[in-house]
Amino acid sequence: MDQAVTRIGTYQLASPVILAPMAGVTDLPFRQLCRRLGAGLVVSEMVTSDVRLWNSRKSRQRLDHTGESEPRSVQIAGGDAEMMAEAARMNEQLGAQIIDINMGCPAKKVCNKAAGSALMRDEKLVGEILEAVVNAVNLPVTLKIRTGWCAEQRNGLQIARIAEASGIQALAVHGRTRTQLYTGAAEYDSIAAIKQAIGIPVFANGDIDSPQKALAVLQHTGADAVMIGRAAQGRPWIFNEISHFLKTGELLPAPTLDWQQSILQEHLQALHTFYGEHQGVRIARKHVGWYLQTLPGAEDFRRRFNQLECPEQQRRNIQTFFTRLLEGDLAA
């Protein structure tokens, strides 16, 4: 499939496969790994627009872009135009190169603060926030939305038009409403309609978990790129797989166990370094769970792994697990 080059402002994406921002997942170590494994763009986990809360350890870690490849995209969330503009300005000073606005997060604690996908119910406020942020920075601003609040209120198309008129440079659309959360199946007709209606790049998001599915969604929607969220958890090489398939029509062979182990060990090391031993060990547990979920013997191993308290033990246990897998000890 011939892929036109996708641009956001002056930035040209290396591939049309993008890592979606996910709270508690797309931290610096994971973003760097996904970039190395073929993601054309990675978006940081969302940062609150309330800059008074930025002194917490969590916010400081979320705002850290040390050594990150360009373009650096930072997602902000909030429901107040002035605060969002201020957060965008501060992020620009901290090295962000693209500001992404979250109007897609369905989490209760975000929606209860009239942020995330709750904003889609108030089109006037959406326009005010988008314009305030676009005018606050000299950077391209992008937006992530859902198809609407609920089945009866699918206003993704109106929001998309407001976004384009406000100067938004690219729009990511998750093919579900807010009330669906992550249940049911994503639908792509709404994304296709949005792509038809506006002239800025559109990124299709939701349930894209294989190279074949990525191609089908791109063909169905006419979108400029696909955005991968949950399917990248424990499988950061999905970006290369999709990218290669879109370019050549060929499926890459499944990664060998040896190679998967080396990627996982590299990821563990990066988590331990970035978060420090105590926090790094805890955060590594969920990632390890995702990497191993399809492998034989993973359930038992995970229970034991979650008891481990030091980085060295985590690394050794992973090594032993893969050695036993390779020797056929854990055959399904």
Question: Phi and psi dihedrals of 62, rounded to 5?
Answer: -70, -25
Q: For residue 91, say whether it is annotated as part of any ligand binding site.
A: no
Distance between CA atoms of 77 and 16, rounded to whole angstroms?
24
266: enclosing H helix or E strand: helix 257-275
Binding site annotation covers 206?
yes
**DSSP helix/strand/coil, 171:** strand
| 85 touches 135 (CB < 8 A) | yes
* DSSP per position, 98-153: EEEEEE----HHHHTTT-GGGGGG-HHHHHHHHHHHHHH-SS-EEEEEEEESBTTB
Q: How far apart are CA 33 and CA 71, in angstroms?
A: 15
The sign of the torsion formed by the CA atoms of 64, 7, 200, 18 equals: negative
Active site residues: 105
Residue 278 marked in a binding site: no
- Confirm whether residue 174 is marked as ligand binding: yes
Residue 279 labeled ligand binder: no
Q: Is 280 annotated as a binding residue?
A: no
120 in a labelled binding site: no
Strands 11-12 and 202-205 turn out to be unpaired
Tell me how many helices (H) and strands (E) the chain has.
13, 11
207 is in an annotated binding site: yes
Residue 234 marked in a binding site? no
β-strand 141-148 against 11-12: which pairing, if any? unpaired
CA distance 268 to 255: 18
Paired tokens of 91: 């992020």
H-helix or E-strand containing 226?
Answer: strand 225-228
Structure tokens at 243: 């990218």
Q: Which residues are documented as binding site?
A: 21-23, 75, 144, 174, 205-207, 229-230
Q: Which residues are documented as binding site for FMN?
A: 21-23, 75, 144, 174, 205-207, 229-230
